[in-house]
Structure 1
Amino acid sequence: MGEGGSMESAPIRAAEFFAGIGLVRTALERVKGAQVQVVWANDIKQAKRDAYAANFPDAEDHFIVEDIRNIEAPDLPPGIELATSSFPCIDLSLAGNRRGLVGEQSGMFWEFAKVVKGMSPRPSVILLENVHGFATSHGGKDLTAALASLSELGYSLDVLAVDARHFVPQSRPRMFIVGIQADKLPRQARRGVPPISDVRPAWVQAIHEKHRETLDMHYVNLRALPEGPKDLDGFVETEVSSDLWWGEERVEAFVGSLSEVQKARFDTLLAADTISYRTAYRRTRQGVSTWELRKDAIAGCLRTTGGGSSKQALVRLGRGSQAVRWMTPREYANLMGAHDYKLLAGTPNQQLFGFGDAVVVDVIEWIGNNYLLPVLRPAGPE
């Protein structure tokens, strides 16, 4: 290019659909080798926009609080190269109602596709994120319909899966769809069925196999995922107000609800010579509310807080000492890879909800560095 600078140095203009509290943007801004500039973001909840604005002051210029059903392609600024979409998972999740893409929430995928269809030119790359249940919803028909609709918009598609536990001490498996305009496919893209790897286990490979003849599919070989932390060190708050820890009677009720297997696990940790942390969820078993400790030392999947059963508790055990409390918003932020996120807006419950409904920063950053950037800003001649 001329005096305006090379394409390699030009900012990547991005649009963040279902932006939530802005963790996709947080991740994209960490991508090395190029500046990613979010020029448009949208969510329906004002509380999420407030949290976003507390961390990104330019939200006033580009964050639109609106139902996506009221968004039209001309509402977006021109020149968008990357569009991200973490559309609602409640109708696809095993913990949800499994209504699939006809559901009120997860059906918002079609609204995203409608907006992309009307964009001219369309984004070179799209990145979608959702739960693994998307792959099995309605016997796989929902995913097939979604992939077909994106293929009709000119995108070659790749599917991969990443569990956030490779980056943070949280079990959070998610699937991703990367769509690349067919004429922008990088030289490292391959046709056919990808080999099994940590980002493409057998069930993901089967998706590629199923659609290889009917849809425009590709894959890109990616580096192995990192090992990931094995415990909560550096992610939990060790110095919090004593008022947050539950009283003796409530702790006794917690311990009393544990099954024999759970109680044995609890007692082993209690008698240990070192202090350790475990996370716990409240479950309903045969109509009875019980608590369950994780076997490992990482957190369970953080959820949107809609009641006690969706909130995660932190248990501190060792040297004969036991203590239990709810996890804090800062701990939720840390477990989502957002250690520096400012907790300046909303109530604690709104903050927990925002993080439980978000993406893990490190995962998106890894995909950005290893997949999106080489496509949008290739290092050498194609």
Structure 2
Amino acid sequence: MVEESAGVAQPAIRAAEFFAGIGLVRQALEPLGVQVVWANDIERAKRDAYAANHDASHFELADIRSVSASHLPRRIELATSSFPCVDLSLAGNRLGLVGSQSGMFWQFARILEELGEQRPRIVFLENVRGFATSHGGQDLADALTRLSQLGYSCDVFTVDARHFVPQSRPRMFIVGIRGALPVGAKAEVPPLSTVRPAWVQRVHARHQNLGMHYLPLPDLPEGPQDLSSVVEQMDSSDPRWWDHDKTAALVDSLSPVQTARMEALRGGPALSWRTAYRRTRNGVAVWELRRDAIGGCLRTTGGGSSKQALVELGRGEVRVRWMTPLEYARLMGAGSYKLTGGTPNQALFGFGDAVVVDVVRWIGQHYLLPALHWQRQPQAA
């Protein structure tokens, strides 16, 4: 694989994809000239989905605790790590980096250390924004300190996927760079922007002793305002629509404000869509309809309360069903992904636990690729 840059053919950027899941990081970066030469995950169902869409000959299906640096091929320039968020999420147990799942960050750092001078020039980490507040910010401080010890100057920023797809999915990203920083990078606290709001500023200010930097990024696009590009059209007689009793139970559990909102949409002349989650309020299970017309943050399916329902309203009707794997795929910017093998819930789990393709591709275009190409220049050696 060779990419073109200013009319000159360049070797593809060699990357390792840690916690690869179903391979959406690869889906995002491969068209930019990144070649994933090694990937790892522990979940067989995710590996199978990965293999249905990518060459998986390099995929190591294993617990990362059993992986050593010797397993990786040489000359890796970029390592990506979407390590588990369960212990960091506000919806999780908040055990932080001592938790059995989010604590896998330390295994990623261990492998980087084992690589020694062969460790990649750039690391790219993705996780929930709760990482920044876990244990009062100490977990993020510990992670940034460890990356600094490994020779990386780090940048922290945030992107909400709603700027690219109709899904509210705010995530935090860390880019660590070894060696020369790319042109335009500044070793100071960044100004306020959509990708570096006040809380990101505070992270940078608190950790300037670690030699952090920031790279200016362009404004984010506005993003779609409704679910019309996502909804899988199906006839009103399709058995996936809920029956009268189940639909009535959802409607009856709505608050008066949400009921009024739903009735206004139901009386409209055209079809519109809202998403809904089941919540527990004061010990009672209720449904909550999103105020806006985009999807809520997709989650890893572990039961009914973690699955997102689609509510179709208009022309005097209200219909409800679970969102489909195809709709999940579209909300993750992966509508062309092959949904072969496995159960529908496994597909929902894989997408709910993944990155949004459009977000990672935007970061690749505006940050990772410029930085990686800068690293290849003689003055960066």
Q: For the superposition of Structure 1 and Structure 2, which TM-score range results when normalised by the shorter chain?
A: over 0.9
**How far apart are 1:216 and its partner, in Å?**
1.5
Aligned counterpart in structure 2 of residue 130 of structure 1, from 120, 127, 142: 127
Residue in 1 aligned with 2:264? 268
SS in 2 for 1:126: strand
Find the aligned partners of 2:167 and 2:358 in 1 and give their Cα distance. 12
SS in 1 for 2:165: coil
Residue in 2 aligned with 1:332? 328
Cα offsets for 1:48-68 (capped at 9, x unmatched) = 000000001x20x20011000
Name the TM-score, length of structure 2 as normaliser: 0.95
**How far apart are 1:300 and its partner, in Å?**
0.1
Residue in 1 aligned with 2:22? 21
Find the aligned partners of 2:62 and 2:330 in 1 and give their Cα distance. 28
SS in 2 for 1:30: helix
**How far apart are 1:380 and its partner, in Å?**
7.9
Query: Are 1:246 and 1:324, in contact at CA under 8 Å, matched by a contact in 2?
Result: yes
Q: Is residue 277 from structure 1 mapped to residue 273 from structure 2 by the alignment? A: yes
Residue in 1 aligned with 2:38? 40
**How far apart are 1:14 and its partner, in Å?**
0.3
Cα offsets for 1:169-189 (capped at 9, x unmatched) = 0000000000000x2311211
**How far apart are 1:117 and its partner, in Å?**
1.0
SS in 1 for 2:118: coil
Query: Are 1:184 and 1:375, in contact at CA under 8 Å, matched by a contact in 2?
Result: no
Residue in 1 aligned with 2:183? 187
Residue in 2 aligned with 1:355? 351
Query: Are 1:273 and 1:318, in contact at CA under 8 Å, matched by a contact in 2?
Result: yes
Q: Report 1:140-159 matches (<5 A).
A: 140-159=137-156
**How far apart are 1:381 and its partner, in Å?**
7.9
Residue in 2 aligned with 1:166? 163
Find the aligned partners of 1:64 and 1:380 in 2 and give their Cα distance. 32
Find the aligned partners of 2:9 and 2:123 in 1 and give their Cα distance. 19
Residue in 1 aligned with 2:315? 319
Residue in 1 aligned with 2:293? 297
Q: Is residue 69 from structure 1 mapped to residue 62 from structure 2 by the alignment? A: no
Name the TM-score, length of structure 1 as normaliser: 0.95
Read off the aligned partner of 1:96 and give its amino acid letter: G
Find the aligned partners of 2:46 and 2:87 in 1 and give their Cα distance. 21
Read off the aligned partner of 2:37 and give its amino acid letter: V
Runs of 4+ in 1 over 3 A off after TM superposition: 5-8, 378-382
Query: Are 1:93 and 1:133, in contact at CA under 8 Å, matched by a contact in 2?
Result: yes
Find the aligned partners of 2:277 and 2:31 in 1 and give their Cα distance. 32
Find the aligned partners of 2:262 and 2:90 in 1 and give their Cα distance. 28
Find the aligned partners of 2:15 and 2:339 in 1 and give their Cα distance. 24
Find the aligned partners of 1:319 and 1:358 in 2 and give their Cα distance. 36
SS in 2 for 1:352: helix
**How far apart are 1:274 and its partner, in Å?**
1.7
**How far apart are 1:217 and its partner, in Å?**
0.4
**How far apart are 1:345 and its partner, in Å?**
2.1
**How far apart are 1:30 and its partner, in Å?**
2.6
Find the aligned partners of 1:346 and 1:115 in 2 and give their Cα distance. 31
Find the aligned partners of 2:180 and 2:343 in 1 and give their Cα distance. 44
Find the aligned partners of 1:184 and 1:77 in 2 and give their Cα distance. 24
Q: Name the % identity.
A: 65
Unaligned runs of 5+ in 2: none
**How far apart are 1:239 and its partner, in Å?**
2.6
Q: Is 232-241 or 339-348 further displaced after alignment?
A: 232-241
Aligned counterpart in structure 2 of residue 103 of structure 1, from 77, 99, 104: 99
Cα offsets for 1:260-304 (capped at 9, x unmatched) = 111111111111122100000000111111111000000000000
Query: Are 1:7 and 1:377, in contact at CA under 8 Å, matched by a contact in 2?
Result: no
SS in 1 for 2:168: coil
Residue in 2 aligned with 1:54? 52
Find the aligned partners of 2:285 and 2:168 in 1 and give their Cα distance. 23
Read off the aligned partner of 1:92 and give its amino acid letter: L
Aligned counterpart in structure 2 of residue 230 of structure 1, from 225, 228, 240: 225
**CA 1:324 to 1:207, structure 2 compared with 1: closer, same or farther past 3 Å?**
same
Read off the aligned partner of 1:39 and give its amino acid letter: V
Residue in 1 aligned with 2:112? 116
**How far apart are 1:41 and its partner, in Å?**
0.3
**CA 1:53 to 1:154, structure 2 compared with 1: closer, same or farther past 3 Å?**
same
**CA 1:210 to 1:303, structure 2 compared with 1: closer, same or farther past 3 Å?**
same
Find the aligned partners of 2:334 and 2:96 in 1 and give their Cα distance. 30
Find the aligned partners of 1:206 and 1:75 in 2 and give their Cα distance. 38
**How far apart are 1:7 and its partner, in Å?**
8.8
Find the aligned partners of 2:180 and 2:26 in 1 and give their Cα distance. 23
Read off the aligned partner of 1:146 and give its amino acid letter: A
Cα offsets for 1:168-209 (capped at 9, x unmatched) = 00000000000000x231121111110000100000011001
Query: Are 1:269 and 1:317, in contact at CA under 8 Å, matched by a contact in 2?
Result: yes
Query: Are 1:8 and 1:377, in contact at CA under 8 Å, matched by a contact in 2?
Result: no
